[in-house]
Amino acid sequence: MTLHDLLNDDRPHVFDGAMGTMLYQNGVFINRCYDEIVLKQPELVSRIHEQYVAAGAELIETNTFGANPVKLAEYSLDAQTHEINAVAAKLARDAAKGRALVGGAIGPLGIRIEPYGPTSLAEARALFRQQVEGLVDGGVDFIILETFADPSEIREAIGAVRDACDLPVVAQMTINEAGTTVYGTSAALCAQRLDEWGADVVGLNCSVGPHAMLASVEAMAAATTRKISAQPNAGLPREIHGRKMYMASPEYMAKYAQRLIRTGVRFVGGCCGTTPAHIRQIADAVHARGRTASPPARRPRTVSRASRSRADRTSARSSPRARSSRASRSCRPRASILRRCSRVCSC
Ligand SMILES: [Zn+2]
């Protein structure tokens, strides 16, 4: 079985839920490098993968969301980029036992790239490639790029995958309550761009919970013929008695999984705050629906010129002069927002 088999069977399919949330619930404190856990406590990571497969996940993700050389360098682990990714991939494969496909998870680098920061597009692509090569050597079935906010950055990540292998790519952005990335790009235009750049599946993850994701996913489905994925978080966390709690129950997530599928989503799962209990309810709801109805047929619409020009400002390659004028625009994301985005999602 391959991702292409799932793409062609006209049925909805279920991703797993959060890995970071589960590691935290199992006592891994947040000052640790979560990606290194595949070396330090491989049995814990394997057990979580197994719980998701038992709950009904047909696609699971490696514990490598932050396993790029930039983020690993914060723990002096950048020299082990290849090893961590390869071991994580093998752990997931062994845990899946052929009952689920394994996606190699790649998140943002955690630094700003041009024109917002000093790292060039070519440097970003080379950094992503190190992670891709480890995941491929470990035997993943596909690559999943997730929680990206900067269209230019995910374009380089897609390019790194294409440079290194011919595996299918799932490409997911993250949005805010307004339905755009922090760079101001609409979900619909993200879908068009990801499609043009060669992603096999395009979608959203993390963000602001399933309800807010619904309208944006519908706009994406209208803007591309690629299959759509949605992995919302369990709402934004609230502080209760000093602990961060996610408030969306498994039943609530399952109800929205059905709604997401009615809007055209073909791959549904969960991000931060979701657990095997959420995935079990989602799988039950999705498969109950799959027995009675197929997802709706979709016809792509062209994104409006006004919307396109917004994204062109943020995502297209342009002259140094245009880049420098763009950098001074008010839509430039604040550093605090970028830090929060990369920290909040542990996927
Ligand atoms: Zn997340």
Model confidence pLDDT, tens digit, residues 37-47: 999 999 999 99
Work out the burial of residue 294: count CB atoms within 10 Å of its CB; fewer than 13 is exposed, 13-18 middle, 19 or more buried.
exposed
Alpha-carbon dihedral angle through residues 84, 86, 92, 96, given to the nearest 10 degrees: -170
Task: Dihedral sign for Cα 251, 253, 259, 261, please.
Answer: negative
Q: Residue 189 Cα, ligand 1 centroid: separation in angstroms?
A: 21
Give residue 162's pLDDT: 98
Position 167 confidence tier, pLDDT thresholds 50, 70, 90: very high
Work out the burial of residue 92: count CB atoms within 10 Å of its CB; fewer than 13 is exposed, 13-18 middle, 19 or more buried.
buried
How many domains, the chain? Answer: 1
Give residue 238's pLDDT: 79
**How far apart, in Å, do the first and last CA atoms of the chain sit?**
25
Assess whether pLDDT exceeds 50 at residue 343: no
Q: Residue 206 Cα, ligand 1 centroid: separation in angstroms?
A: 4
CATH number of the domain to which 77 belongs: 3.20.20.330
> What is the pTM for the complete model shown?
0.86
Q: Residue 138 Cα, ligand 1 centroid: separation in angstroms?
A: 24
Q: Residue 273 Cα, ligand 1 centroid: separation in angstroms?
A: 8
Give residue 344's pLDDT: 47
Which residue, among 286, 152, 310, has the nearest Cα to 231 in the 3D structure? 286
Work out the burial of residue 9: count CB atoms within 10 Å of its CB; fewer than 13 is exposed, 13-18 middle, 19 or more buried.
exposed
Give residue 288's pLDDT: 83
Q: Residue 344 Cα, ligand 1 centroid: separation in angstroms?
A: 7
Give residue 309's pLDDT: 41
Q: Residue 231 Cα, ligand 1 centroid: separation in angstroms?
A: 8
% of the chain beyond a pLDDT of 90: 76
Q: Are 282 and 261 in contact (CB under 8 A)?
A: no
Q: Residue 66 Cα, ligand 1 centroid: separation in angstroms?
A: 12
Position 61 confidence tier, pLDDT thresholds 50, 70, 90: very high
Tens-place pLDDT, residues 225-246: 999 999 999 987 777 776 667 8
Give residue 94's pLDDT: 98
Give residue 173's pLDDT: 98
In angstroms, the CA 169 to CA 163 distance is 12
Position 7 confidence tier, pLDDT thresholds 50, 70, 90: very high
Q: Residue 332 Cα, ligand 1 centroid: separation in angstroms?
A: 23
Q: Are 20 and 346 in contact (CB under 8 A)?
A: yes
Which residue, among 235, 296, 222, 237, has the nearest Cα to 270 in the 3D structure? 235
Phi, psi of 232 (to 5 degrees): -70, 155
Q: Residue 80 Cα, ligand 1 centroid: separation in angstroms?
A: 24
Rounded to 5°, angle at Cα 266 from 265 and 269: 85
Q: Are 233 and 341 in contact (CB under 8 A)?
A: no
Q: Residue 243 Cα, ligand 1 centroid: separation in angstroms?
A: 17
Q: Residue 343 Cα, ligand 1 centroid: separation in angstroms?
A: 9
Tens-place pLDDT, residues 91-150: 999 999 999 999 999 999 999 999 999 999 999 999 999 999 999 999 999 999 999 999
% of the chain beyond a pLDDT of 70: 82
Task: Write out the two tokens for 281.
Answer: 């309810």
Tens-place pLDDT, residues 245-290: 788 999 999 999 999 999 999 999 999 999 999 999 999 999 886 5
Task: Write out the two tokens for 45.
Answer: 């990571």
Position 334 confidence tier, pLDDT thresholds 50, 70, 90: very low
Q: Residue 20 Cα, ligand 1 centroid: separation in angstroms?
A: 8
Domain that holds residue 148: 3-344
